[in-house]
């Protein structure tokens, strides 16, 4: 019985962690994709993790493969970070 409780508790924590990870994703629309320059232009809503209001801006990407799944006009959810004064998209997925 204890093993079942431990398994259920672990599952509940994983689901809660996943929900929190999804909650810090921002929403936006792809305006431009620059694969050669490793950049993406997004018109986005609030980015709470960066305390950033809605705007259209260019983000860098470290992994150009992130850009393979998006095109201008796509609605997306994304995670952004700031490093050394530059903004990066570190995760991007289709909006639901």
Give the pLDDT score at 24.
Answer: 83
Give the pLDDT score at 9.
Answer: 54
Q: How many residues does the chain have?
A: 96
User: Whole-angstrom distance between the N-terminal and C-terminal Cα of the chain?
Assistant: 38
3-state secondary structure of 47: strand
Q: How many CB atoms lie within 10 A of CB 33?
A: 18
pLDDT tens for the 96 residues of the chain, in order: 566 556 555 555 554 444 444 458 999 999 999 999 999 999 999 999 999 999 999 999 999 999 999 999 999 999 999 999 999 999 999 998
Give the pLDDT score at 96.
Answer: 81
Q: Which two tokens stand for residue 8?
A: 């259920």
Give the pLDDT score at 16.
Answer: 44
Domains of the chain (ranges; CATH) run 26-94 (2.40.50.320)
Beta strands 55-60 and 75-83, pairing class: unpaired
Instruction: Let me know if 93 is exposed, middle or buried by CB neighbors in 10 A (0-12, 13-18, 19+).
Output: middle
- Sheet strands (E) in 1-94: 26-34, 39-44, 55-60, 75-83, 86-94
């Amino acid at each position: 019985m204890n093993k079942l409780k431990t398994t259920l508790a672990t599952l509940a924590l994983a689901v809660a962690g996943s929900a929190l990870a999804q909650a810090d994703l921002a929403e936006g629309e792809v305006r431009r994709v620059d694969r050669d320059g490793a950049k993406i232009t997004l018109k986005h809503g609030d980015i709470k993790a960066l305390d950033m209001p809605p705007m259209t801006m260019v983000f860098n990407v470290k992994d150009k493969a992130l850009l393979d799944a998006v095109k201008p006009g796509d609605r997306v959810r994304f995670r952004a970070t700031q490093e050394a004064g530059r903004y990066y998209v570190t995760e991007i997925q289709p909006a639901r």
